[in-house]
Structure 1
Amino acid sequence: MKERFGKIASIFIPLLLGFGLIYYQYTTLSKEELLKIKSCFEQADYFYIYLSLVIALFGYWGRAYRWKYSLNHLGYQTNLKNDIMTVCISYFMNLTIPRSGEITRAALLKKYDNVPFDKGFGTIVAERIVDLLIFFLFVGLAFILQFDKLYNFIKAKIAFDKIILFGVIGVILGVIFLLIWIYAEWNIIKKLKNKLSGLIEGMTSILKMKDKWKYIFFSFFIWFTYLLMFYVTIFALPETANISFDIVIMGFIFGSLAVGFTNGGLGAYPLSIAMIYSIYGISNDIGTAFGWLVWTSQTILTIVLGLLSYLFLPILNKK
């Protein structure tokens, strides 16, 4: 019963949150702002939207091609077309249940290329670790480039003494957590340690890989396509066409973070883009329109590729 409830909650809570954020954003926009957003959609230069979708295709291909290196390391030769289609399906599944795409991807790999589920899933976990590290590089770069702007924004919103208080509380909580992590014998801590050791093992397996440098190259290539497909969309609207590259990176980071909060960033993505761009003087209606343009185009592509892959994967693997 608990397991069933958990599955239902994992589907509907992110959806409710997404629709709640859409409702919140809609109700906070004036009639004039809503008309401006509609005008942005009508007058946008869709050449750059289509260009971003083409770039996104290279990202799908790069993720599938990188996967082959880790699978080959384990001794499995897979069909690239199957790898590409399972990647497409995994993105599509993440629109329904967050993080369900990884499980689906490993299951399809077992079905069509006879790779054991646990080994296939292990390679996907290793990918996520590498992706997370590269994402942190983007975060570090962005905060270095925009430190003054972000610091002044936070200082304007939160009193300095509260910032100090939050910092002290954060340090205290960090020390408490570290002591619990080292000395506690609780079952939940033991489970977390086991999972962490598995993640570390998956990460170190990459270092032992024969083609590790190719794997790392494609990892950066994937994130380059993600950033590039976000960047080119700024030229779709005249109001965003002249924003600097460091501001683009900030939008890219906060948009990427928003994807994890709801199903594929539903509601959260446009809201986060509008909020971060407002720091740089971009009006709420323009930031919202830009966020919805990017999110809608990428989501449509994900749905189309996912459904086509569902259709053709079994057809192309008929024996």
Structure 2
Amino acid sequence: MKKKVFQWLQYAFFLALAIFLVWWSVSKIKGHDWEEMKGALRTTDYWLLVPVVLILLASHYSRALRWKILMQPLGYSPSTLNTYFSVLIGYLANLAVPRLGEVLKCTILARYEKVPANKLVGTIVAERAFDLICLLIVFAVTIFSQIDIIGKFATDMIKKIISSKTGGIDWMKIAVVLGGLVVVLVLARFIMHRFAHIHVIGKIKEFMRGIWQGLISVRYVKNKGWFFFHTIMIWVGYLLSIQMGFYAMQATSGLGIKASLSVLSLGSIGMIVTQGGIGAYPLLVQETMMLYGITENIGRAFGWLLWLVQFFLVIVFGFLSIGLLPIVNRKKSLQHA
């Protein structure tokens, strides 16, 4: 009972956060801002959003193939089409309830293939672990490939934090921050060890352990080359979809791959922070694009445009997958009848 209450409270919190971010973003838009956003959307070549959809679908296809590879050490090899449909339905479910998609795609695949859903949990953990590592790599590449932009932004933020009232360096602030970090790390280690029996602490330790086990599980994969190939293709697809999105909007058509990397990095955080990225994704994309000389309103328009493309892709192809699954498996059902 307590677990269900906690899950609903968690869901309500992220939903409320999404609603707040949408309201906060919209409340800042004045009359002339709306006109600038409408102007940007009027000059958008919407036909160029079709390749964005195709690239994202190809990226999701690579995710399905990678998932199949992770199942092989367990002795299972489901059909690619069923696996792909399950992945798309999982994305659809995640729009409604956090992490429901991971559970549902395992359940759906188990229904149409001889794969026990409970045995697929380890593959989901492995997927999460590698996606986390990939996101960190994307962040690192983004920062080191454009120190002049991202580095300056980060430096300005740090200066605001450590500067004194006179404009010099406030060493006391630095000492407090560093001391605080040390205390937090020591305290975290102590709590993890001393209070491991508490449910929440146990869950955190279990999560961290799961990430590690997910990372080392790749040693059991037979086709390691294809596994890493599809892992790379997933993120390359995300990157190219953003770049193609830039070309679609006249005001952003001059932005290059470095800006796409930055949008991918911050946008991915937005997708994690709120349900399906609603509110957070457009906001973070908008703030990121302003670093590249794009106005706030154009950045806001592009953020919402890109989010809506991904949202409707998941809605349309998620429901399409639900409808097609019974049809493509009809012959198999008749054979077992």
- TM-score norm. by structure 1 comes to 0.92
Select between 102-111 and 283-292 the one with higher mean Cα deviation: 102-111
Q: Which residue of 2 aligns with 1:119?
A: 119
> Using a 3 Å threshold, how does the CA distance of structure 1 residues 310 and 190 change in structure 2: closer, same or farther?
same
Q: Which residue of 1 aligns with 2:153?
A: 150
Conserved? CA contact 1:110–1:120, under 8 Å: no
Q: What letter is aligned with 1:166?
A: V
Alignment partner of 1:176 is 2:179: no
Q: Distance in 2 between matches of 1:56 and 1:163?
A: 43
Q: Which residue of 2 aligns with 1:49?
A: 49
2:226 pairs, out of 214, 225, 232, with 214
Conserved? CA contact 1:106–1:117, under 8 Å: yes
Instruction: Output one character per residue of 1:264-314: Cα deviation in whole Å (capped at 9) or x when no partner.
Output: 111111111111222333211010011011000111011001001111212
Q: What letter is aligned with 2:181?
A: G
Q: What letter is aligned with 1:13?
A: F
Structure 2 gap ranges (5+): 164-169
Q: Distance in 2 between matches of 1:202 and 1:27?
A: 42
- TM-score norm. by structure 2 comes to 0.88
Q: Which residue of 2 aligns with 1:73?
A: 73
How much has 1:190 moved relative to structure 2?
4.2
SS in 1 for 2:245: helix
SS in 1 for 2:77: coil
> 1:61-140 alignment to 2 at 5 Å?
61-140=61-140
Q: Which residue of 1 aligns with 2:294?
A: 282
Q: What letter is aligned with 1:9?
A: L
Q: Distance in 2 between matches of 1:164 and 1:241?
A: 45
Q: Which residue of 2 aligns with 1:232?
A: 244
Conserved? CA contact 1:98–1:260, under 8 Å: no
> Using a 3 Å threshold, how does the CA distance of structure 1 residues 292 and 310 change in structure 2: closer, same or farther?
same
Aligned length: 319
Conserved? CA contact 2:61–2:84, under 8 Å: yes
Conserved? CA contact 2:40–2:251, under 8 Å: no
Instruction: Give structure 1 regions of 4+ aligned residues with deviation exceeding 4 angstroms.
Output: 182-185
Select between 235-244 and 79-88 the one with higher mean Cα deviation: 235-244
Select between 222-231 and 142-151 the one with higher mean Cα deviation: 142-151
Instruction: Output one character per residue of 1:149-190: Cα deviation in whole Å (capped at 9) or x when no partner.
Output: 223331464343456643432232122212333455443444
> 1:236-275 alignment to 2 at 5 Å?
236-275=248-287
Select between 291-300 and 235-244 the one with higher mean Cα deviation: 235-244
Q: Distance in 1 between matches of 2:260 and 2:220?
A: 35
Identity of aligned residues (%): 31
Q: Distance in 2 between matches of 1:247 and 1:163?
A: 31
How much has 1:202 moved relative to structure 2?
3.0
Conserved? CA contact 2:52–2:244, under 8 Å: yes
Conserved? CA contact 2:107–2:117, under 8 Å: yes
Q: Distance in 1 between matches of 2:296 and 2:222?
A: 49
> Using a 3 Å threshold, how does the CA distance of structure 1 residues 185 and 69 change in structure 2: closer, same or farther?
closer
How much has 1:113 moved relative to structure 2?
1.0
Q: Distance in 1 between matches of 2:266 and 2:282?
A: 10
How much has 1:58 moved relative to structure 2?
0.5
SS in 2 for 1:170: helix
Conserved? CA contact 1:41–1:289, under 8 Å: yes
Conserved? CA contact 2:66–2:230, under 8 Å: yes
> Using a 3 Å threshold, how does the CA distance of structure 1 residues 9 and 194 change in structure 2: closer, same or farther?
closer
SS in 2 for 1:98: coil
Q: Distance in 2 between matches of 1:137 and 1:101?
A: 25
Instruction: Output one character per residue of 1:14-63: Cα deviation in whole Å (capped at 9) or x when no partner.
Output: 22221211111111122111111122222201132111111111111111
SS in 2 for 1:95: helix
Conserved? CA contact 1:98–1:262, under 8 Å: no
Conserved? CA contact 1:56–1:229, under 8 Å: yes
Conserved? CA contact 1:10–1:97, under 8 Å: no
